[in-house]
Amino acid sequence: MIDLRLLREDPDRVRASQRARGEDVELVDALLAADERRRSSGVRFDELRSEQKQLGKQVAKAQGEEKAKLLERTRELAAAVKAADGEQDEAAAEAQRLLLQLGNVVHPDVPVGGEEDFTVRETLGEKRDFEAEGFEPRDHLELGSMLGAIDVERGAKVSGSRFYYLTGVGALLELALVNAAMAQATEAGFTPMLTPALVKPASMEGTGFLGQAAQDVYHLEQDDLYLVGTSEVPLAAYHMDEIIEADRLPLRYAGFSPCFRREAGSYGKDTRGIFRVHQFDKVEMFAFVHPEEAEAEHTRLLEWEKQWLTSLELPFQVIDVATGDLGASASRKFDCEAWIPTQGKYRELTSASNCDEFQARRLSVRMRGDGRTRPLATLNGTLCAVPRTIVALLENHQRADGSVRVPEVLRPYLGGREVLEPVAK
């Protein structure tokens, strides 16, 4: 959540942020009013309690008619104190409810607009000219079938649409990607983590996934637990309700977990293959840092993602995501989009988000240093979303006979294989 002091001191900035996101601007004024009611009712409660205490001392000394009058006033005050206390609690609850609906304040350099209004920061790698090479590229599903690597028919039979099996070299390719990604993250100083796939509501809400993203979340009502859509959630909540000594920062974790997403509202999009699915595995980077270091850490996360995609020898572009396409927690987000030959366009493979103090305030994660305790900053970055990375690898490294060249970085994790060969039918 945002700092209420920012809301009080510069409400126009928060209104502008809401407007840029395409979110409700009137929420800002409603929150300001609720916050004012909370503060004024708190002052009223304190005044009445003070009078109540003073009156108690007077009653002890009074006698006769004077004491009777004071006792009557005592009863009136007791009712007034109770009412003020209730009003304070009600206003505080309303302010908190509204505060949790408010997105993070967007960075001033973020391009304003919707999904297609991003700006391209840079383009890296070379697209292959398949026409010059003399063959029409196959899509990842056809290649996956030829390699005996992807089975969506049986995935749909067993679990429904947008589920799949990775088989044979497909399964080995996932394990190779995960191990290579974890190796890079570990070398960069991240602590490897295997995280829970089920979390409590406080963890999901604290990271900002029960607002605009709630429709994509799987909820187990009987247990009141949520299936995570990213290990960002359990990694962010790892230090929930804790105070971290400032000299321990930065803390960097690389989490591997299954991810579950309803993909609500995406029906009819990317229905072929394994690009947009309900369950997948992912390696996620997460950092807890000094707030003053957040922007520099954001750049570092992006550089690690670029290093990863470059090692996979994929052509890609880096974009600055527009305000209307930001998640509620992010003040700024950079995506790396790989070129998908059969689609003729770049598609998101990784993302890096700066959440500033937004998640830390919601999760009560604080740092202690310089004689004070305050919220720290959190950032997250996808290193390897496995199915999409497989899509990009198969399509970009395919050969005319349906075989696929293995990038050098993955070969040690694939038993030295340099090529994935089609299997006999």
Which residues are catalytic, by number? 261, 276, 348, 351, 388
Strands (E), 316-376: 316-320, 332-340, 345-354, 365-369, 372-375
* Residue 20 to residue 26: CA distance in whole angstroms: 13
H helix or E strand, kind and range, residue 227: strand 225-227
Taking each helix axis as running N to C, give the angle between helix 11-21 and helix 26-61, from 0 to 180 degrees, rounded to the nearest 10: 140
Instruction: Give the strand pairing for 316-320 and 218-220.
Output: unpaired
Strands (E), 88-223: 119-124, 150-151, 165-166, 191-194, 198-199, 218-220
Q: Which whole-number Å values give the CA distances from 146 to 91, 297, 326, 348, in the listed order?
A: 63, 42, 38, 25
Using alpha carbons, select from 103, 107, 4, 2 the residue that is nearest to residue 357. 2
Largest CA-CA distance found in the chain, in angstroms, rounded: 110
- C-beta separation of 170 from 148 below 8 A: yes
Residue 10 carries which DSSP code?
A: -
